């Protein structure tokens, strides 16, 4: 068996799941050119989305989060790229 395939299979088996404590929460990975937003899989069939960083795109993020009934957001950002979204 290919050693690389063994490593992949081992990693796939070790994936853990977590209990959802607050289903009304989203996570956003903030970057200079794009933001990745994730909501619970029961909120949208496409629960991970990528958005550009222009003002109209920030409004689109807010609209999508409202549609998904999100009330809390955890943001991860390096630098000051979080400020316009906040």
Confirm if 72 and 28 have CB atoms less than 8 A apart.
Answer: no
State the Cα–Cα distance between residues 4 and 32, nearest whole angstrom: 34
State the Cα–Cα distance between residues 31 and 82, nearest whole angstrom: 8
The ranges assigned to domains in the chain are 21-86
State the Cα–Cα distance between residues 73 and 66, nearest whole angstrom: 11
Per-residue pLDDT of the chain (86 residues; tens, 9 = 90+): 555 555 555 555 666 777 878 889 999 999 999 999 999 989 999 999 999 999 999 999 999 999 999 999 999 998 899 999 99
Confirm if 41 and 17 have CB atoms less than 8 A apart.
Answer: no
């Amino acid at each position: 068996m290919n050693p690389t395939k063994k490593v992949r299979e081992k990693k796939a088996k070790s994936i853990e799941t977590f209990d959802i404590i607050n289903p009304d929460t989203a996570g956003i990975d903030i970057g200079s050119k794009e933001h990745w937003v994730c909501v619970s899989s029961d909120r949208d069939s496409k629960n991970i989305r990528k958005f550009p960083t222009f003002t109209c795109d920030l409004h689109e993020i807010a609209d999508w989060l409202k549609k998904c009934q999100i009330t809390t957001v955890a943001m991860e950002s390096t630098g000051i790229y979080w400020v316009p979204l906040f």
